[in-house]
Structure 1
């Protein structure tokens, strides 16, 4: 039996583990059996995380977070959680090897996953011209020609943001009208650096070690053409990893886990959520880490109140 179980090994999960471990709560953190570290493991240079003036590689940053969590006593288990039961006072989670683990509290920090195009070389060139985060990687494309795939608010926001760096930004959309709000559309239409490529989809990604271009397919007549590019930003949405808690925790209209105000408290007492799994807007490593801090402190306060209530009950028995 544990005090705290943490599910997730991104910035939110490891930050929660650091705080919980320093509080003497001996957290157990379940990292993926396949790969730990969240989306930062697919990011090369991270220049906007405080404390690294020269930048840091995404995998290196996550390794440092893990080492810090383990230094204070976090136990890391390399297995996936396949089932959760939050119905009782003791929370139960089932790991991929079939073992069942119990804890007084659970911090759910499984993050979110960027939606991908699902074409060859997309993952291979991730961090080498292909990106899902303009805020993270836009700086590397100064005076370059890039493209953004998508037609919603996030795509317009990313395209507009990227014009701060790039000389030219193509917006590639499958249809001839956008899903984005009118104000976001107009902002993009008014930007002289942005050019729209309508009724088109990315059929192939080109490049050996770095992205050099893409093949576009016309969604009306099926014709194809090549477009030379230095960067490709995919902005077709992301999905919070909440499949384990459907029907067990309240969710928002965005599909993220609902929490009370600025806290990490979910609809199930003793269960806390942190990181991208509660954040449909910002999805940055630093905001996820801050959210992990909140979850650890909330869990610590919950455990302290629980212990105090037990002591009062014993004293009055």
Structure 2
């Protein structure tokens, strides 16, 4: 029987594991099929994590975290959790290999995944010129022209990253203003090889078996521009990874909002006792590494208190 099961190995899950083990829970397992670190490992540049100065990639930021957690006894089970259920006071952790683990408490930190933009050809050419990760795929377009779709912080930060590698970056945004931080917007505007295309949206990306050949962009008046590029990067938001909370009858284990985010209070408590949610999957998440880490710490401290009361009172 686990004292605490942590589902997800990003900043929230790792911090939860650190605080839960160091705080006294004796049997804590983090379930994460991939390498720990989370979505932030795909970011090219982090400049707003407290105490970290200079340019650092998301991967470099996260590398020390697992070792620190494991030092205090956190175990890592590299397997996908398909569902979490509860019987009485016991949580059941259903895994992809058909096995079960049981836990007194659960902290869900499964985060979110990059959303598809929805234009024609996106799915067909995904992985063959269409990407959601500039640090993963940007190198393939060194010295070439690429297009970036989106208007938030991620889109502009990745456009800046690509501008260092590529001869030109077309930044396509459906509105006339950006949602990104003002200083990031200023940096983009001052970067000579970034062409900003506002009030426009991608209509179709086209190509062949060899990959992307170009993208058709439609402006607000219906005009079409054909931009010849071998790479298109989309950054248009994220979908919540809440699948583990879906029960056999299709309902959710705990209260969710209309966007599929977990409803929690200030202590990361869900509507189900002993179940906590942290990071990008919870309501009103700022979607910043430092905030996810803070969530994980809060959730772990609450889990410690919950398990103590459950077992000793």
With structure 1 as the length reference, what TM-score do the two structures score? 0.73
Gaps of 5+ in 1: 170-192, 206-212, 310-317
Which residue of 2 is the match for residue 237 of structure 1?
237
**Taking structure 1 as reference, are residues 149 and 16 closer, same or farther at Cα in structure 2, changes over 3 Å only?**
farther
Give the alignment partner of residue 187 of structure 2, picking from 165, 168, 187. Answer: 165
Give how far 1:226 is off: 1.4
Query: 2:216 matched to 1:216?
Result: yes
- SS class of match (1:297): helix
Query: 2:283 matched to 1:275?
Result: no
**Taking structure 1 as reference, are residues 35 and 254 closer, same or farther at Cα in structure 2, changes over 3 Å only?**
same
Contact residue 264 and residue 273 of structure 1 kept, 8 A: yes
**Taking structure 1 as reference, are residues 221 and 139 closer, same or farther at Cα in structure 2, changes over 3 Å only?**
closer
**Taking structure 1 as reference, are residues 124 and 258 closer, same or farther at Cα in structure 2, changes over 3 Å only?**
closer
Partners of 1:74 and 1:136 in 2: how far apart?
Answer: 34
Q: Deviations over 1:238-291 (max 9, x none)?
A: 11111221321110133200012x111001100000000104452111111111
Which residue of 1 is the match for residue 268 of structure 2?
264
Give how far 1:62 is off: 2.4
Give how far 1:225 is off: 1.3
**Taking structure 1 as reference, are residues 148 and 235 closer, same or farther at Cα in structure 2, changes over 3 Å only?**
farther
RMSD of aligned residue pairs (Cα, Å):
3.8
Q: Deviations over 1:176-211 (max 9, x none)?
A: xxxxxxxxxxxxxxxxx9652435436169xxxxxx
Give the alignment partner of residue 297 of structure 1, picking from 272, 284, 301. Answer: 301
Partners of 1:288 and 1:109 in 2: how far apart?
Answer: 9
Gaps of 5+ in 2: 139-145, 208-212, 247-251
Contact residue 29 and residue 74 of structure 2 kept, 8 A: yes
Partners of 1:131 and 1:21 in 2: how far apart?
Answer: 42
Partners of 2:149 and 2:72 in 1: how far apart?
Answer: 34
